[in-house]
Amino acid sequence: MGLISFIKEAGEKLFGKGDAKAAQEATAAAPTPENVAQLSDAAGKAIADYIRAMKLDIQDLGVTFDAPSATVTVTGVAPDQATKEKVILCCGNVEHVAAVNDNLTVAASEPEAQWYTVVKGDTLSKIAKEYYQNANKYPVIFEANKPMLSDPDKIYPGQLLRIPPLQS
């Protein structure tokens, strides 16, 4: 899929905890090549932990974060296209991440979903109306973005969502 852009100021706040927080504070105080490397390593681990917490099964998962470019690179083998796309969302819908370099492969090929960036005033019903011509199809979008979405009413501006093709 290549490089996917995200809104850097929006998303999960994974870097304000544990090792990632300590590395971020050290970099803010006195950025040195060692501090930046420490921040990048801690952030990559935090994102990998987040993917695992979402119970997304990726064989040979590899996640790295390059702090200067705010880019995540993700590698591994996803069992299907939906899982691959959810992993990309887990990597990119994180505060301070501007792009995801997708180096994942898929074991079973399927059609790719479309991507949609949430804007102020959006609801899943409004998005479903735009993509499926039926506002009542919002559960399709909600299910396609689980487990990152826990409630169909909790989306935020800047969040990137998967919009899967409708199954006939």
Residues 27-56 pLDDT 10s: 455 567 777 788 889 899 999 999 999 999
pTM: 0.83
User: How many independent structural domains does the chain possess?
Assistant: 2
For residues 100 and 6, the answer to whether their CB atoms sit within 8 Å is yes
Please report whether residue 96 resides in a domain: yes
Statement to judge: residues 22 and 59 lie in one domain: yes
What are 78-117's pLDDT values in tens digits? 999 999 999 999 999 998 899 999 999 999 888 899 999 9
Task: Read off the DSSP letter of residue 136.
Answer: G
Q: At what angle do helices 18-29 and 33-53 cross, to 10 degrees?
A: 160
* Share above pLDDT 90 across residues of the chain, in percent, rounded to a whole number: 66
Q: What is the mean pLDDT of residues 10-36?
A: 63
Report whether pLDDT(24) > 70. no
Please report whether residue 99 resides in a domain: yes
Statement to judge: residues 126 and 100 lie in one domain: no
Query: Who contacts 126 (Cβ-Cβ below 8 Å, separation ≥6)?
Result: 135
Statement to judge: residues 86 and 125 lie in one domain: no
Domain that holds residue 45: 2-108
Please report whether residue 93 resides in a domain: yes
Statement to judge: residues 15 and 78 lie in one domain: yes
Please report whether residue 168 resides in a domain: no
pLDDT of residue 31: 63
- The residue among 108, 131, 154 that closes a domain is 108
Please report whether residue 68 resides in a domain: yes
Report whether pLDDT(130) > 80. yes
